[in-house]
Structure 1
Amino acid sequence: MADATSDRIHEVLKAVQRDVSAVRSDMSDLKQQMTAVRGHLVAIQQDVGNIYNRLCHMEDRVDRIEVRLGLVEPAH
Structure 2
Amino acid sequence: MTGEPDDLVLEHLRAIRGQTGRMADMMHTMSVETTAIRQHLAGVVTIQEHDHGGIAGIKARLDRIETRLDLVD
Question: Structures share a fold, TM > 0.5?
Answer: yes
Work out the CA distance in 1 between the residues paired with 2:39 and 2:15: 36
The structural deviation recorded for 1:70 is: 2.0
Q: Structure 1: 5+ residue runs without aligned partners? A: none
Q: What residue is the counterpart of 1:41 in the other structure? A: 41
Alignment root-mean-square deviation, CA: 1.1
Q: What residue is the counterpart of 2:27 in the other structure? A: 27
Q: Structure 2: 5+ residue runs without aligned partners? A: none
The structural deviation recorded for 1:33 is: 0.5
Question: After the TM superposition, which parts of structure 1 deviate over 6 Å for at least 4 consecutive aligned residues?
Answer: none
- Point out the more displaced range, 39-48 or 16-25: 39-48
Work out the CA distance in 2 between the residues paired with 1:61 and 1:2: 89
Q: What residue is the counterpart of 1:18 in the other structure? A: 18
Q: What residue is the counterpart of 2:52 in the other structure? A: 52
Work out the CA distance in 1 between the residues paired with 2:72 and 2:41: 40
